[in-house]
């Protein structure tokens, strides 16, 4: 595969970039911190086990005007693109968001509106080339409105609905849309939070994502048990949801 990866310097994205490199795929890292991108690129070049450069290109989810140029740069550096992966996102606790309206606006804008705009640029580019795969990390937090993740979950719910619509409309045209819904994953994003049962590690989540990309799976729950956890949560009556803190 020829992959543009937005968010490959931390957590799930870094683990996935390492795995892609180890499996021999061509990779261009996109992100806003060029120093972190370069460090990650050098790490992934070593993991490739053979002479293969991992180019980088600037792309900041806060600035949609740069999305098309970033994807064009990745395509130029790799000699084409057939896969675009988005793992970048913002996270904050519900308490932080309730007390900071500017942070709320930023998170909702980046996680939903700007991510959709980036995906639209990727969709158009991939379809012009005959098709490909668009893989985006959403979250189980978007499955249902829940007290601990009201605002973050809403941003991911919108993203998941958008990705489902893309899959319905464009799969027949050659665009495979893969929506990844991780449960709790032990990354820097969740540092300091007590992990619940079934918490995942970035490396295991990366393996699940790659399998989903290879198979063209429309929705990937990872770790897999979260599919059944969220099935139960989706079917709880509203009066029960008001009483529990999950």
Residues 179 and 138: beta-carbon distance below 8 Å: yes
Angle of helix 150-170 relative to helix 101-108, nearest 10 degrees?
Answer: 10
| Dihedral angle computed from the Cα positions of residues 228, 234, 239 and 241, in that order, rounded to the nearest 10 degrees | 70
pLDDT-based confidence at 189, cuts 50/70/90? low
In a domain, 215, yes or no: yes
Question: For the chain, how many structural domains are there in total?
Answer: 1
Number of other CB atoms surrounding residue 104 within 10 Å? 17
Question: Are the C-beta atoms of 10 and 18 separated by less than 8 Å?
Answer: no
Q: Is residue 44 part of a domain?
A: yes
pLDDT recorded at residue 200: 78
pTM comes to: 0.94
Domain boundaries, position 112: 2-241
Q: How confident is the model at residue 188 (pLDDT cuts 50, 70, 90)?
A: low
pLDDT single digits (tens) 1-47: 999 999 999 999 999 999 999 999 999 999 999 999 999 999 998 87
Q: Can you say how many angstroms the Cα of residue 7 is from the centroid of all Cα atoms in its chain?
A: 8
- pLDDT tens for residues 206-232? 999 999 999 999 999 999 999 999 999
Distance CA 102, CA 123 (A): 30
Please indicate, yes or no, if residue 210 is contained in any of the structural domains: yes
* 57-69 tens-digit pLDDT: 999 999 999 999 9
Give the Cα separation of 46 and 44 in Å (integer).
Answer: 5
Backbone angles phi, psi at 137, to 5 degrees: -85, 115
Gap between the Cα atoms of 139 and 172, Å rounded: 25
The answer to the question of residue 246 being in a domain is: no
Q: Is residue 183 part of a domain?
A: yes
Q: 219 φ, ψ to 5°?
A: -135, 130
Q: Give the chain's mean pLDDT.
A: 94
Which helix (H) or strand (E) segment is 203 a member of? helix 202-215
Enumerate the active-site residues: 152
CATH number, domain with residue 124 = 3.40.50.720
Of 182, 110, 189, the C-alpha closest to 139 is 182
Tens digit of each residue's pLDDT (9 = 90 or more) over 94-114: 999 999 999 999 999 999 999
pLDDT score of 175 more than 70:
yes
């Amino acid at each position: 595969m020829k992959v543009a990866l937005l968010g490959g310097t931390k957590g799930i994205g870094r683990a996935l970039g390492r795995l892609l490199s180890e499996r021999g795929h061509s990779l261009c890292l996109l992100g806003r911190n060029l120093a972190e991108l370069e460090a990650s690129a050098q790490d992934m070049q070593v993991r490739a086990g053979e002479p293969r450069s991992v180019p980088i290109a600037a792309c900041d989810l806060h600035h949609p005007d740069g999305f098309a140029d970033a994807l064009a740069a990745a395509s130029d550096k790799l000699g084409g693109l057939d896969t675009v992966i988005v793992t970048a996102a913002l996270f904050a606790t519900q308490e932080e968001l309730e007390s900071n309206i500017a942070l709320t606006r930023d998170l909702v804008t980046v996680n939903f509106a700007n991510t959709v705009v980036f995906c639209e640029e990727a969709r158009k580019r991939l379809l012009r080339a005959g098709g490909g795969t668009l893989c985006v990390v959403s979250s189980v937090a978007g499955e249902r409105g829940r007290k601990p993740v009201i605002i973050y979950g809403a941003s991911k719910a919108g993203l998941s609905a958008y990705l489902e619509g893309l899959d319905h409309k464009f799969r027949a045209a050659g665009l495979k849309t893969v929506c990844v819904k991780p449960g709790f994953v032990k990354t820097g994003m969740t540092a300091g939070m007590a992990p619940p049962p079934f918490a995942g590690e970035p490396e295991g989540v990366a393996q699940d994502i790659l399998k989903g990309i290879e198979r063209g799976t429309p929705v990937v729950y990872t770790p897999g048990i979260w599919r059944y956890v969220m099935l139960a949560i989706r079917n709880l009556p509203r009066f029960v949801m008001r009483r529990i803190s999950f």
